[in-house]
Amino acid sequence: MSNCGCVTSKGNNAVSPAVANTYGQNYRGNNNNRFTNHNHEFLASTNYEKDDDCNIHNHRIAGMTGPAIRNGVTHVHKIEEITDTFCDHIHKICDTTGPAIYISNNKHVHLIKGVTSCCDGHDHDYYFTTLIEDPTNVPNTGKC
């Protein structure tokens, strides 16, 4: 595998470097690029790969996105997480979601596609969506 000294993922999202830079600004007190403050949960599995001992395996990913970061008329979120452990190794994920994908009742999800950090001679691809934001805030229709 190439670049096995990497620390973070090599994500393939179409997000400009300016958006990635605004993430840091949001945490230094600059809220100009903030969108409505919310987060998303996520859970997924990576693809299967062989490690240095030729063990074929995959990893689980679960966590919470960072707050919304304005990106034009929409927004994105930063994700920094580690996978579960397999044979004493983990992988890191550091990526930015794609823009909001609206579904119903003005709720939305985000797509994340990328590659984990390299560990034990390999990395893993991931491709998943976040869960909807604030899933407990459901409109009250008066119906059971």
pLDDT at 45 over 90: yes
Looking at 1-5, 31-35, 43-47, 111-115, which range is the least confident one? 1-5
Q: Supply the DSSP string of 79-111, one letter for each residue.
A: EEEE---BTTB--EEEEE----EE-STT-EE-E
Are 14 and 98 contacting, i.e. CB atoms less than 8 angstroms apart? yes
- Structure tokens that stand for 117 in this block: 């950090």
| % residues pLDDT > 90 (the chain) | 53
**DSSP code for 134:** S
pLDDT at 16 over 50: no
What ranges in the chain are assigned the alpha helix state H? 17-26
pTM to 2 decimal places: 0.69
Residue of 37, 46, 55 whose CA lies nearest to 113 = 46
